[in-house]
Amino acid sequence: MRIIPALDMIGGKCVRLEQGDFDRKKEYELSPVDYAKFLEDQGFKYLHLVDLDGARKGAPVHLNILEEICGATSLKVDFGGGVKNTETVKQVFDCGAQQVTAGSLAVKNPVEVCEWLSLFGAEKVILGADVKDEIIYINGWKTSTEIPLFTFLENFRKSGIQYVVCTDISKDGLLQGSSVGLYKKIREKFPELKLIASGGIHTLEDLEKLKAEGMEGAIVGKALLENKVDLSKMRAYVD
């Protein structure tokens, strides 16, 4: 299992939200590029980069920062936030990202996302499944789609999706532990998916539990930004 540090951006700054609430935002002094360099210096190889301004606007705002990070580090970056069409996906890849994440668009226009799978390959596209009580939420986690998580995953599995990042909204940004039970259910039903956990991960014990369930990866945000975990003890997950 690999650790994937998360970096969320608003106004060109590193931020973290609690449960996706823009009114519960915390800004950090380190710039996104400097934080990415720090992560690489610590031995990390991946980065989950989210353009929160782009998510609200419906088009990426911080492609320049994505390009800077990819130029200044060797991190393998997956990018999300406002990616709504094929042309934008091409721009994201031109900036150096290795993968793109499709969240709300996968609900609103699944045909478009399936076209990305055909055009760019399944290794390049991550399905974002943001859930609360096993129901998919969109529009910055504010709108319930009433679509059951397992129906959503089954539809995209049939279309060839390989990578899925599943975020439990109720856990995100709270440092209260991961939804291991939910991920266990997903793994049992869809063992072939490369499942990435997101939300609430903040201890080595969290990581051990997720690894035991056969997760592909674990996204860690606030716990890394605020030094809640001993980096020296995370080496086993970096490689």
User: What residues act catalytically?
Assistant: 8, 130
Which residues, 6+ apart, have CB-to-CB distance to 113 below 8 Å?
102, 105, 106, 125, 127, 156, 159
SS3 186: helix
Phi, psi of 221 (to 5 degrees): -110, -85
Which ranges of 109-179 would DSSP assign to H, the alpha helix?
A: 110-120, 149-159
Tell the burial category of 8 from Cβ atoms under 10 Å away from its Cβ (0-12, 13-18, 19+): buried
197/217 Cα distance (integer angstroms): 6
Beta strand extents in the chain (DSSP E only) = 2-10, 13-18, 21-27, 46-51, 76-80, 99-102, 125-132, 135-138, 143-148, 163-168, 194-198, 217-220
SS3 169: coil
